[in-house]
Structure 1
Amino acid sequence: MVPLQLLALLLDRHLSVALPFFFHKLLCRILGIRITVHGRRHKRGAVLYIANHSSWADIPVLSAVIPGSFVAKSEIEGWPIFGFLAKLQRTVFVQREKRSRTAESRDVLVDRLRGGDNLILFPEGTSSDGNRVLPFKSALFGAAEIEVARRDGAMGPVVVQPVTVTYTKLQGMPMGRDYRAFFTWFGDMELAPHLLHALGFGPITAEVEFHAPLTVGEAGSRKALARHCETVIRAGHARQIQGHFS
Protein backbone atom coordinates (compact mmCIF):
# COMPACT_ATOMS: atom_id res chain seq x y z
CA MET A 1 0.00 0.00 0.00
CA VAL A 2 3.03 2.32 0.17
CA PRO A 3 2.83 3.46 -3.50
CA LEU A 4 -0.89 4.13 -3.12
CA GLN A 5 -0.34 6.19 0.03
CA LEU A 6 2.47 8.17 -1.62
CA LEU A 7 0.12 8.98 -4.47
CA ALA A 8 -2.67 9.92 -2.07
CA LEU A 9 -0.33 12.31 -0.22
CA LEU A 10 0.22 14.12 -3.50
CA LEU A 11 -3.30 14.13 -4.89
CA ASP A 12 -6.01 13.44 -2.28
CA ARG A 13 -5.80 14.52 1.37
CA HIS A 14 -8.94 12.61 2.38
CA LEU A 15 -7.63 9.39 0.84
CA SER A 16 -4.25 9.89 2.57
CA VAL A 17 -6.13 9.86 5.90
CA ALA A 18 -8.45 6.98 5.01
CA LEU A 19 -5.75 4.57 3.80
CA PRO A 20 -3.78 4.40 7.11
CA PHE A 21 -7.12 4.03 8.94
CA PHE A 22 -7.95 0.96 6.80
CA PHE A 23 -4.36 -0.35 6.86
CA HIS A 24 -4.13 -0.36 10.66
CA LYS A 25 -7.48 -2.10 11.05
CA LEU A 26 -6.11 -4.85 8.82
CA LEU A 27 -2.74 -4.83 10.61
CA CYS A 28 -4.39 -5.33 14.01
CA ARG A 29 -6.22 -8.36 12.65
CA ILE A 30 -2.96 -9.79 11.30
CA LEU A 31 -1.12 -9.16 14.59
CA GLY A 32 -3.93 -10.71 16.63
CA ILE A 33 -4.91 -7.51 18.43
CA ARG A 34 -8.60 -7.40 19.27
CA ILE A 35 -9.85 -3.85 19.94
CA THR A 36 -12.80 -3.17 22.24
CA VAL A 37 -14.06 0.42 22.12
CA HIS A 38 -15.91 2.18 24.95
CA GLY A 39 -17.52 5.60 24.56
CA ARG A 40 -17.82 7.62 21.37
CA ARG A 41 -15.23 9.40 19.29
CA HIS A 42 -15.91 13.09 18.67
CA LYS A 43 -16.26 13.59 14.91
CA ARG A 44 -17.27 17.24 14.36
CA GLY A 45 -14.24 19.09 13.03
CA ALA A 46 -10.56 18.70 13.87
CA VAL A 47 -9.92 17.05 17.24
CA LEU A 48 -6.83 16.88 19.44
CA TYR A 49 -6.89 13.41 20.98
CA ILE A 50 -4.91 12.96 24.19
CA ALA A 51 -3.83 9.39 25.01
CA ASN A 52 -1.61 7.48 27.41
CA HIS A 53 1.33 5.64 25.86
CA SER A 54 2.85 2.30 26.81
CA SER A 55 3.48 0.23 23.69
CA TRP A 56 4.38 0.09 20.02
CA ALA A 57 0.89 -1.39 19.69
CA ASP A 58 -0.65 1.98 20.61
CA ILE A 59 0.10 3.17 17.06
CA PRO A 60 -1.88 0.53 15.11
CA VAL A 61 -4.58 0.36 17.81
CA LEU A 62 -5.28 4.10 17.87
CA SER A 63 -4.85 4.40 14.10
CA ALA A 64 -7.51 1.68 13.68
CA VAL A 65 -10.12 3.74 15.59
CA ILE A 66 -9.03 7.34 14.84
CA PRO A 67 -8.40 8.67 11.32
CA GLY A 68 -5.58 11.07 12.06
CA SER A 69 -1.86 11.70 12.56
CA PHE A 70 0.41 11.32 15.58
CA VAL A 71 2.59 13.83 17.38
CA ALA A 72 5.92 12.09 17.99
CA LYS A 73 9.41 12.87 19.25
CA SER A 74 11.82 14.01 16.56
CA GLU A 75 14.15 10.99 16.89
CA ILE A 76 11.52 8.70 15.34
CA GLU A 77 11.82 10.58 12.04
CA GLY A 78 15.28 9.05 11.52
CA TRP A 79 14.40 5.47 12.46
CA PRO A 80 14.73 2.87 9.68
CA ILE A 81 11.35 1.66 8.34
CA PHE A 82 9.31 3.02 11.26
CA GLY A 83 10.36 6.61 10.56
CA PHE A 84 9.34 6.21 6.92
CA LEU A 85 5.98 4.72 7.91
CA ALA A 86 5.43 7.60 10.34
CA LYS A 87 6.03 10.10 7.55
CA LEU A 88 3.51 8.27 5.36
CA GLN A 89 0.90 8.92 8.07
CA ARG A 90 1.89 12.62 8.17
CA THR A 91 3.25 12.39 11.71
CA VAL A 92 4.17 15.71 13.36
CA PHE A 93 7.71 15.45 14.74
CA VAL A 94 8.51 17.66 17.73
CA GLN A 95 11.62 18.26 19.85
CA ARG A 96 10.25 17.71 23.34
CA GLU A 97 13.63 17.94 25.05
CA LYS A 98 14.26 21.54 23.92
CA ARG A 99 12.03 24.11 25.62
CA SER A 100 13.18 26.71 23.10
CA ARG A 101 11.49 24.72 20.33
CA THR A 102 8.18 24.25 22.15
CA ALA A 103 6.54 27.32 20.60
CA GLU A 104 7.65 26.24 17.12
CA SER A 105 6.25 22.72 17.67
CA ARG A 106 2.99 24.16 19.00
CA ASP A 107 2.66 26.34 15.89
CA VAL A 108 3.00 23.25 13.66
CA LEU A 109 0.20 21.55 15.59
CA VAL A 110 -1.94 24.69 15.27
CA ASP A 111 -1.48 24.75 11.49
CA ARG A 112 -2.47 21.10 11.19
CA LEU A 113 -5.57 21.53 13.36
CA ARG A 114 -6.61 24.60 11.38
CA GLY A 115 -6.18 22.52 8.26
CA GLY A 116 -8.78 20.09 9.56
CA ASP A 117 -6.48 17.27 10.69
CA ASN A 118 -7.10 15.09 13.72
CA LEU A 119 -3.97 14.82 15.87
CA ILE A 120 -3.07 12.22 18.51
CA LEU A 121 -0.78 13.44 21.30
CA PHE A 122 1.00 11.38 23.98
CA PRO A 123 1.59 14.00 26.70
CA GLU A 124 3.57 11.67 28.98
CA GLY A 125 6.49 12.34 26.66
CA THR A 126 7.59 8.69 26.80
CA SER A 127 6.07 5.23 27.13
CA SER A 128 5.31 3.49 30.44
CA ASP A 129 5.25 -0.13 31.59
CA GLY A 130 1.51 -0.33 30.92
CA ASN A 131 0.56 -0.68 34.58
CA ARG A 132 0.42 3.05 35.28
CA VAL A 133 0.00 6.45 33.63
CA LEU A 134 2.93 8.87 33.90
CA PRO A 135 2.51 12.61 34.66
CA PHE A 136 1.41 14.71 31.68
CA LYS A 137 3.44 17.57 30.22
CA SER A 138 1.22 20.55 29.40
CA ALA A 139 3.35 22.52 26.89
CA LEU A 140 1.78 21.24 23.67
CA PHE A 141 -1.76 21.61 25.03
CA GLY A 142 -1.34 25.25 23.98
CA ALA A 143 -2.21 24.12 20.46
CA ALA A 144 -5.82 23.84 21.66
CA GLU A 145 -5.98 27.57 22.44
CA ILE A 146 -7.27 28.45 18.97
CA GLU A 147 -10.47 28.34 16.94
CA VAL A 148 -10.92 26.05 13.95
CA ALA A 149 -13.59 25.55 11.30
CA ARG A 150 -16.30 23.03 12.10
CA ARG A 151 -18.03 20.81 9.55
CA ASP A 152 -20.88 23.34 9.21
CA GLY A 153 -18.37 26.08 8.34
CA ALA A 154 -18.71 27.92 11.65
CA MET A 155 -15.64 28.68 13.77
CA GLY A 156 -15.24 27.17 17.23
CA PRO A 157 -12.62 26.19 19.81
CA VAL A 158 -10.48 23.10 19.26
CA VAL A 159 -12.11 20.05 20.81
CA VAL A 160 -9.84 17.94 23.00
CA GLN A 161 -10.83 14.33 23.72
CA PRO A 162 -9.00 12.16 26.29
CA VAL A 163 -8.51 8.52 25.28
CA THR A 164 -7.38 5.63 27.49
CA VAL A 165 -5.61 2.60 25.99
CA THR A 166 -4.94 -0.52 28.10
CA TYR A 167 -3.91 -4.07 27.19
CA THR A 168 -6.12 -6.29 29.30
CA LYS A 169 -6.28 -9.85 27.96
CA LEU A 170 -3.96 -12.48 26.57
CA GLN A 171 -5.65 -15.27 24.58
CA GLY A 172 -8.97 -14.14 26.08
CA MET A 173 -7.80 -14.36 29.70
CA PRO A 174 -6.95 -11.46 32.05
CA MET A 175 -3.36 -10.42 31.35
CA GLY A 176 -2.17 -9.27 34.78
CA ARG A 177 0.75 -7.00 35.71
CA ASP A 178 3.50 -9.48 34.91
CA TYR A 179 2.40 -10.31 31.37
CA ARG A 180 1.46 -6.72 30.48
CA ALA A 181 5.14 -5.76 30.52
CA PHE A 182 5.78 -8.17 27.62
CA PHE A 183 3.52 -6.06 25.39
CA THR A 184 4.62 -2.62 26.52
CA TRP A 185 7.73 -0.94 25.21
CA PHE A 186 9.64 1.45 27.45
CA GLY A 187 13.08 2.38 28.73
CA ASP A 188 15.95 1.25 26.51
CA MET A 189 14.24 -1.81 25.02
CA GLU A 190 15.15 -2.61 21.40
CA LEU A 191 11.99 -2.47 19.33
CA ALA A 192 12.41 -5.31 16.81
CA PRO A 193 13.33 -8.12 19.31
CA HIS A 194 10.64 -6.93 21.71
CA LEU A 195 8.04 -6.90 18.94
CA LEU A 196 8.85 -10.46 17.81
CA HIS A 197 8.84 -11.73 21.40
CA ALA A 198 5.47 -10.12 22.16
CA LEU A 199 3.81 -11.53 19.04
CA GLY A 200 4.83 -15.04 20.11
CA PHE A 201 2.44 -14.95 23.05
CA GLY A 202 -0.71 -15.01 20.92
CA PRO A 203 -3.78 -12.73 20.56
CA ILE A 204 -4.24 -9.81 22.95
CA THR A 205 -7.13 -7.47 23.73
CA ALA A 206 -6.75 -3.69 23.72
CA GLU A 207 -9.40 -1.62 25.50
CA VAL A 208 -9.88 1.89 24.08
CA GLU A 209 -12.10 4.30 25.99
CA PHE A 210 -13.15 7.67 24.57
CA HIS A 211 -13.89 10.10 27.39
CA ALA A 212 -16.07 13.22 27.27
CA PRO A 213 -14.56 15.90 24.99
CA LEU A 214 -13.93 19.46 26.19
CA THR A 215 -12.13 22.69 25.27
CA VAL A 216 -9.50 24.87 26.90
CA GLY A 217 -12.21 27.38 27.77
CA GLU A 218 -14.26 24.74 29.57
CA ALA A 219 -11.19 23.51 31.47
CA GLY A 220 -10.07 27.01 32.42
CA SER A 221 -6.50 26.99 31.11
CA ARG A 222 -3.92 24.94 29.24
CA LYS A 223 -2.50 23.49 32.46
CA ALA A 224 -5.96 22.77 33.86
CA LEU A 225 -6.82 20.97 30.63
CA ALA A 226 -3.69 18.82 30.94
CA ARG A 227 -4.54 17.99 34.57
CA HIS A 228 -8.10 17.07 33.62
CA CYS A 229 -6.97 14.77 30.81
CA GLU A 230 -4.41 13.11 33.07
CA THR A 231 -6.99 12.52 35.81
CA VAL A 232 -9.61 11.12 33.44
CA ILE A 233 -7.19 8.88 31.55
CA ARG A 234 -5.59 7.58 34.75
CA ALA A 235 -9.02 6.71 36.18
CA GLY A 236 -9.98 4.99 32.93
CA HIS A 237 -6.75 3.00 32.96
CA ALA A 238 -7.41 1.83 36.53
CA ARG A 239 -10.94 0.72 35.57
CA GLN A 240 -9.71 -1.14 32.51
CA ILE A 241 -7.05 -3.02 34.44
CA GLN A 242 -9.65 -4.03 37.02
CA GLY A 243 -12.15 -5.01 34.33
CA HIS A 244 -14.65 -2.22 35.09
CA PHE A 245 -15.81 0.13 32.34
CA SER A 246 -17.90 3.28 32.37
Structure 2
Amino acid sequence: MITWLRIGVIVVALSIVTLVLLPFQMAGLAFDLRMRRYIPRYWHRAACWLLGIRIHLHGRIDRRRPLMLAANHASWKDILVLGAVADVAFIAKSEVADWPVFGLLAKLQKTIFVARDQKRQAGQQVNEIAERMKAGEIVVLFPEGTTSDGNRLLDIKSSLFGAAAAAVPSVPGNVVHVQPVAIAYTRVYGMAMGRYHRPIAAWPGDIELVPHLMGVLKAEAIDVDVSFGEAVAFRAGDNRKALSAEVAAKIRRMLLARLRGRDYG
Protein backbone atom coordinates (compact mmCIF):
# COMPACT_ATOMS: atom_id res chain seq x y z
CA MET A 1 0.00 0.00 0.00
CA ILE A 2 2.80 2.41 0.93
CA THR A 3 4.61 1.58 -2.33
CA TRP A 4 1.58 2.41 -4.47
CA LEU A 5 1.01 5.58 -2.46
CA ARG A 6 4.59 6.64 -3.13
CA ILE A 7 4.18 5.94 -6.86
CA GLY A 8 1.02 8.03 -6.89
CA VAL A 9 2.77 10.93 -5.18
CA ILE A 10 5.65 10.77 -7.67
CA VAL A 11 3.32 10.77 -10.68
CA VAL A 12 1.21 13.64 -9.36
CA ALA A 13 4.21 15.74 -8.28
CA LEU A 14 6.04 15.25 -11.57
CA SER A 15 2.86 16.11 -13.48
CA ILE A 16 2.56 19.36 -11.52
CA VAL A 17 6.21 20.27 -12.18
CA THR A 18 5.68 19.52 -15.88
CA LEU A 19 2.54 21.68 -16.11
CA VAL A 20 4.28 24.58 -14.34
CA LEU A 21 7.36 24.53 -16.59
CA LEU A 22 5.63 23.60 -19.84
CA PRO A 23 4.34 27.08 -20.85
CA PHE A 24 7.79 28.62 -20.36
CA GLN A 25 9.50 25.85 -22.35
CA MET A 26 6.93 26.10 -25.14
CA ALA A 27 7.54 29.85 -25.37
CA GLY A 28 11.29 29.26 -25.35
CA LEU A 29 11.01 26.78 -28.21
CA ALA A 30 8.62 28.96 -30.20
CA PHE A 31 10.88 32.02 -30.07
CA ASP A 32 14.20 30.16 -29.65
CA LEU A 33 14.79 31.90 -26.32
CA ARG A 34 17.81 31.05 -24.20
CA MET A 35 15.58 29.77 -21.39
CA ARG A 36 14.68 26.69 -23.46
CA ARG A 37 18.18 25.44 -22.67
CA TYR A 38 18.02 25.62 -18.88
CA ILE A 39 14.35 24.95 -18.09
CA PRO A 40 14.78 21.20 -18.81
CA ARG A 41 17.50 21.13 -16.12
CA TYR A 42 14.95 22.09 -13.47
CA TRP A 43 12.60 19.36 -14.69
CA HIS A 44 15.35 16.73 -14.67
CA ARG A 45 16.46 17.73 -11.18
CA ALA A 46 12.89 17.47 -9.91
CA ALA A 47 12.49 14.05 -11.57
CA CYS A 48 15.73 12.74 -10.06
CA TRP A 49 14.75 14.01 -6.60
CA LEU A 50 11.28 12.48 -6.78
CA LEU A 51 12.61 9.14 -8.04
CA GLY A 52 15.32 9.06 -5.37
CA ILE A 53 18.20 9.21 -7.85
CA ARG A 54 21.21 10.63 -5.99
CA ILE A 55 23.96 11.98 -8.24
CA HIS A 56 27.63 11.98 -7.23
CA LEU A 57 29.91 13.99 -9.52
CA HIS A 58 33.59 13.27 -10.15
CA GLY A 59 35.47 15.88 -12.14
CA ARG A 60 33.69 18.60 -14.05
CA ILE A 61 32.37 19.44 -17.48
CA ASP A 62 35.05 21.00 -19.70
CA ARG A 63 34.65 24.76 -19.99
CA ARG A 64 35.83 24.91 -23.60
CA ARG A 65 33.39 25.15 -26.48
CA PRO A 66 32.24 23.69 -28.78
CA LEU A 67 31.81 20.61 -26.59
CA MET A 68 30.40 17.16 -27.17
CA LEU A 69 29.93 14.74 -24.27
CA ALA A 70 30.33 11.06 -25.15
CA ALA A 71 28.78 8.85 -22.47
CA ASN A 72 28.04 5.18 -21.92
CA HIS A 73 24.34 4.39 -22.04
CA ALA A 74 22.65 2.05 -19.56
CA SER A 75 19.16 3.47 -19.22
CA TRP A 76 16.72 6.27 -19.99
CA LYS A 77 17.73 7.52 -16.54
CA ASP A 78 21.06 8.59 -18.04
CA ILE A 79 19.13 11.40 -19.71
CA LEU A 80 17.62 12.50 -16.38
CA VAL A 81 21.03 12.39 -14.73
CA LEU A 82 22.98 14.32 -17.38
CA GLY A 83 20.07 16.70 -17.87
CA ALA A 84 20.11 17.46 -14.14
CA VAL A 85 23.85 18.13 -14.14
CA ALA A 86 24.05 20.61 -17.03
CA ASP A 87 22.15 22.36 -19.81
CA VAL A 88 22.63 19.82 -22.58
CA ALA A 89 21.10 18.78 -25.89
CA PHE A 90 20.89 15.08 -26.69
CA ILE A 91 21.45 13.27 -29.97
CA ALA A 92 18.97 10.40 -30.34
CA LYS A 93 17.90 7.98 -33.03
CA SER A 94 14.85 9.15 -34.96
CA GLU A 95 12.63 6.34 -33.60
CA VAL A 96 12.71 7.96 -30.15
CA ALA A 97 10.57 10.81 -31.48
CA ASP A 98 7.64 8.40 -31.84
CA TRP A 99 7.93 6.81 -28.38
CA PRO A 100 5.02 7.54 -26.02
CA VAL A 101 5.85 10.09 -23.29
CA PHE A 102 9.63 9.85 -23.85
CA GLY A 103 9.28 11.11 -27.43
CA LEU A 104 7.27 14.15 -26.31
CA LEU A 105 9.76 14.95 -23.55
CA ALA A 106 12.64 14.64 -26.03
CA LYS A 107 10.96 17.08 -28.43
CA LEU A 108 10.32 19.55 -25.62
CA GLN A 109 14.04 19.47 -24.87
CA LYS A 110 14.81 20.04 -28.55
CA THR A 111 16.65 16.76 -28.93
CA ILE A 112 18.51 16.31 -32.21
CA PHE A 113 16.98 13.27 -33.93
CA VAL A 114 19.28 11.38 -36.28
CA ALA A 115 17.96 9.05 -38.98
CA ARG A 116 21.00 6.82 -39.39
CA ASP A 117 19.63 4.94 -42.40
CA GLN A 118 18.58 8.01 -44.39
CA LYS A 119 21.63 9.53 -46.03
CA ARG A 120 19.61 12.34 -47.60
CA GLN A 121 18.97 13.84 -44.18
CA ALA A 122 22.50 13.32 -42.92
CA GLY A 123 23.79 16.71 -44.10
CA GLN A 124 20.87 18.58 -42.55
CA GLN A 125 21.28 16.75 -39.24
CA VAL A 126 25.03 17.40 -39.12
CA ASN A 127 24.42 21.08 -39.86
CA GLU A 128 21.98 21.28 -36.95
CA ILE A 129 24.50 19.67 -34.60
CA ALA A 130 27.21 22.06 -35.80
CA GLU A 131 24.94 25.11 -35.39
CA ARG A 132 23.90 24.06 -31.90
CA MET A 133 27.54 23.61 -30.84
CA LYS A 134 28.51 26.91 -32.46
CA ALA A 135 25.83 28.55 -30.33
CA GLY A 136 27.54 27.20 -27.21
CA GLU A 137 25.21 24.27 -26.53
CA ILE A 138 26.68 21.10 -25.04
CA VAL A 139 25.69 18.14 -27.20
CA VAL A 140 25.46 14.63 -25.70
CA LEU A 141 26.19 11.53 -27.75
CA PHE A 142 25.71 7.92 -26.64
CA PRO A 143 28.20 6.26 -29.03
CA GLU A 144 27.24 2.68 -28.12
CA GLY A 145 24.07 3.28 -30.09
CA THR A 146 21.96 1.31 -27.62
CA THR A 147 21.61 0.61 -23.89
CA SER A 148 23.74 -1.90 -21.97
CA ASP A 149 23.20 -3.84 -18.73
CA GLY A 150 25.17 -1.17 -16.86
CA ASN A 151 28.04 -3.54 -16.04
CA ARG A 152 30.21 -2.81 -19.07
CA LEU A 153 30.79 -0.59 -22.06
CA LEU A 154 29.52 -2.02 -25.34
CA ASP A 155 31.43 -1.60 -28.59
CA ILE A 156 31.44 2.04 -29.64
CA LYS A 157 30.32 2.87 -33.16
CA SER A 158 32.94 5.23 -34.58
CA SER A 159 30.48 6.27 -37.31
CA LEU A 160 28.45 8.12 -34.68
CA PHE A 161 31.36 10.52 -34.23
CA GLY A 162 30.79 11.59 -37.83
CA ALA A 163 28.72 14.48 -36.50
CA ALA A 164 31.75 15.84 -34.63
CA ALA A 165 34.01 15.34 -37.66
CA ALA A 166 31.58 17.03 -40.02
CA ALA A 167 31.03 19.92 -37.62
CA VAL A 168 34.74 20.76 -37.30
CA PRO A 169 34.94 23.04 -40.39
CA SER A 170 31.87 25.00 -39.23
CA VAL A 171 32.80 25.74 -35.62
CA PRO A 172 35.14 28.39 -34.14
CA GLY A 173 38.79 27.34 -34.18
CA ASN A 174 37.92 24.32 -36.33
CA VAL A 175 38.06 22.07 -33.28
CA VAL A 176 35.43 20.09 -31.38
CA HIS A 177 36.21 19.06 -27.81
CA VAL A 178 34.91 15.55 -27.07
CA GLN A 179 34.72 14.76 -23.36
CA PRO A 180 34.28 11.13 -22.20
CA VAL A 181 31.70 10.60 -19.45
CA ALA A 182 31.10 7.43 -17.41
CA ILE A 183 27.69 6.88 -15.78
CA ALA A 184 27.84 4.15 -13.13
CA TYR A 185 24.83 3.05 -11.06
CA THR A 186 26.47 1.95 -7.83
CA ARG A 187 24.00 1.64 -4.92
CA VAL A 188 20.36 0.82 -4.29
CA TYR A 189 18.65 1.32 -0.91
CA GLY A 190 22.08 2.51 0.28
CA MET A 191 23.72 -0.88 -0.39
CA ALA A 192 26.32 -1.65 -3.03
CA MET A 193 24.67 -2.66 -6.29
CA GLY A 194 26.23 -5.81 -7.73
CA ARG A 195 25.91 -7.23 -11.23
CA TYR A 196 22.71 -9.05 -10.28
CA HIS A 197 20.87 -5.95 -9.03
CA ARG A 198 22.16 -3.45 -11.60
CA PRO A 199 19.27 -4.17 -14.03
CA ILE A 200 17.11 -2.29 -11.50
CA ALA A 201 18.88 0.81 -12.76
CA ALA A 202 19.93 -0.28 -16.25
CA TRP A 203 17.51 -0.87 -19.10
CA PRO A 204 18.97 -3.28 -21.66
CA GLY A 205 16.89 -3.79 -24.78
CA ASP A 206 15.45 -7.18 -23.80
CA ILE A 207 13.60 -5.84 -20.74
CA GLU A 208 10.09 -4.46 -21.23
CA LEU A 209 9.66 -0.81 -20.31
CA VAL A 210 6.61 -0.97 -18.01
CA PRO A 211 7.95 -3.63 -15.57
CA HIS A 212 11.30 -1.85 -15.54
CA LEU A 213 9.65 1.51 -14.88
CA MET A 214 7.67 0.02 -11.99
CA GLY A 215 10.88 -1.35 -10.52
CA VAL A 216 12.47 2.11 -10.64
CA LEU A 217 9.42 3.72 -9.03
CA LYS A 218 9.48 1.16 -6.21
CA ALA A 219 13.19 1.63 -5.54
CA GLU A 220 13.44 4.43 -3.00
CA ALA A 221 17.08 5.35 -3.56
CA ILE A 222 19.49 4.76 -6.42
CA ASP A 223 22.99 6.23 -6.36
CA VAL A 224 24.75 7.08 -9.60
CA ASP A 225 28.35 8.19 -10.05
CA VAL A 226 29.06 10.47 -13.00
CA SER A 227 32.73 10.80 -13.95
CA PHE A 228 34.05 13.40 -16.40
CA GLY A 229 37.30 12.53 -18.13
CA GLU A 230 39.82 14.69 -19.94
CA ALA A 231 38.43 16.08 -23.19
CA VAL A 232 39.96 15.10 -26.52
CA ALA A 233 40.49 17.85 -29.10
CA PHE A 234 39.23 16.71 -32.51
CA ARG A 235 40.45 18.74 -35.50
CA ALA A 236 40.18 18.58 -39.25
CA GLY A 237 42.18 15.66 -40.59
CA ASP A 238 42.13 13.73 -37.31
CA ASN A 239 41.15 10.08 -37.51
CA ARG A 240 37.60 9.36 -36.37
CA LYS A 241 38.40 5.75 -35.40
CA ALA A 242 41.34 6.91 -33.31
CA LEU A 243 39.03 9.37 -31.53
CA SER A 244 36.52 6.59 -30.95
CA ALA A 245 39.16 4.25 -29.51
CA GLU A 246 40.60 6.91 -27.19
CA VAL A 247 37.20 7.99 -25.89
CA ALA A 248 36.09 4.37 -25.42
CA ALA A 249 39.22 3.53 -23.42
CA LYS A 250 38.67 6.49 -21.09
CA ILE A 251 34.99 5.72 -20.55
CA ARG A 252 35.74 2.06 -19.86
CA ARG A 253 38.44 2.85 -17.28
CA MET A 254 36.25 5.32 -15.43
CA LEU A 255 33.19 3.08 -15.52
CA LEU A 256 34.99 0.00 -14.22
CA ALA A 257 36.71 2.01 -11.48
CA ARG A 258 33.39 3.38 -10.20
CA LEU A 259 31.63 0.02 -10.39
CA ARG A 260 34.45 -1.44 -8.30
CA GLY A 261 34.23 1.40 -5.79
CA ARG A 262 37.57 2.89 -6.67
CA ASP A 263 38.71 6.37 -7.60
CA TYR A 264 39.67 6.83 -11.21
CA GLY A 265 43.22 7.87 -11.67
- Give the TM-score taking structure 1 as reference length: 0.91
Residue aligning to 1:81: 101
Match of 2:175 in 1: 157
Q: Which moved more, 1:217-226 or 1:15-24?
A: 217-226
User: Quick one: which amino acid aligns to residue 234 of structure 1?
Assistant: R
Deviation at 1:80, TM superposition (A): 1.7
Residue 175 of structure 1 aligns with an amino acid whose one-letter code is: M
Determine if contact 1:22/1:64 at 8 Å carries over to the other structure. yes
- Rounded Cα–Cα distance in structure 2 between residues aligned with 1:236 and 1:98: 34
Match of 2:171 among 148, 154, 160: 148
Classify 1:184/1:232 alpha carbon distance in 2 versus 1 (closer, same or farther; 3 Å).
same
> Which stretches in structure 1 are left out of the alignment for 5+ residues?
150-154
Higher helix share: 2
Instruction: Please say which of residues 205-214 and 17-26 is displaced more in the overlay.
Output: 17-26
Which residue in 2 is equivalent to 1:178?
196
Is the counterpart of residue 38 in structure 1 residue 65 in structure 2? no
Identity %: 41
Shift of 1:215: 1.3
Deviations 1:199-242 (A, max 9, x none): 21220101000000121249941111111111110111110110
Show the counterpart of 2:243: 225
Instruction: Single out whichever of 196-205 and 216-225 deviates more from structure 2.
Output: 216-225
Rate the CA distance shift 1:46–1:217 in 2: closer, same or farther, 3 A. Answer: closer
One-letter amino acid of the counterpart of residue 198, structure 2: R
**Matching of residues 1-246 of structure 1 within 5 Å:** 1-11=21-31, 13-97=33-117, 102-145=122-165, 146=168, 148-149=171-172, 155-217=173-235, 220-246=238-264
- 1:15-44 per-residue CA deviation (whole Å, 9 max, x = no partner) reads 111101122112111110000000111123
- Whole-Å separation in 2 of the counterparts to 1:227 and 1:24: 31
The equivalent residue for 1:152 is: none
Q: Is the Cα contact below 8 Å between 1:160 and 1:215 reproduced in 2?
A: yes
> What's the secondary structure of 2:225's corresponding residue?
strand
Equivalent residues, number:
241
1:69–1:92 CA contact under 8 A, matched in 2: yes
Instruction: Tell me how far apart the structure 1 counterparts of residues 261 and 244 of structure 2 sit (CA, whole Å).
Output: 26
